[in-house]
């Protein structure tokens, strides 16, 4: 599955830039936020701020780049997709 990214500002309270992740049918599947370079926990990483559908739940991993985020989302959705 291919995803597209659309920049969006996310009101996390910390002025962070984000990306909407859309699937092939232009449906919103996730929102990623790029944590600031002085973040104490995961500086400069992409954080899965919110996921929808099968991505909704307790998992909020961080990724060093958007390709890795896309791989993770693809894997998750493939794993969860009904046969």
Write out the residues near other proteins by the rule CB under 8 A.
12-14, 35, 39-42, 47, 58, 60, 62
State in angstroms the smallest separation of the CB of 25 from other proteins: 28
| H or E element in which residue 38 lies | none
**Closest of 62, 19, 21, 58 to residue 39, by C-alpha:** 62
Nearer to other proteins, 7 or 13 (CB): 13
Nearer to other proteins, 23 or 49 (CB): 49
State in angstroms the smallest separation of the CB of 57 from other proteins: 11
Nearer to other proteins, 4 or 52 (CB): 52
């Amino acid at each position: 599955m291919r995803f597209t990214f659309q920049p969006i500002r996310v009101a996390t309270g910390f002025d962070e830039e984000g990306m909407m992740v859309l699937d092939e049918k232009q449906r919103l599947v996730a929102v990623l936020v790029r944590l600031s370079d002085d973040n104490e926990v995961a500086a400069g990483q992409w954080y899965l701020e919110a996921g929808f559908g099968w991505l909704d739940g307790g998992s909020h991993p961080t990724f060093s780049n958007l390709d890795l985020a896309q791989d993770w989302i693809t894997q998750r959705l493939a794993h969860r997709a009904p046969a």
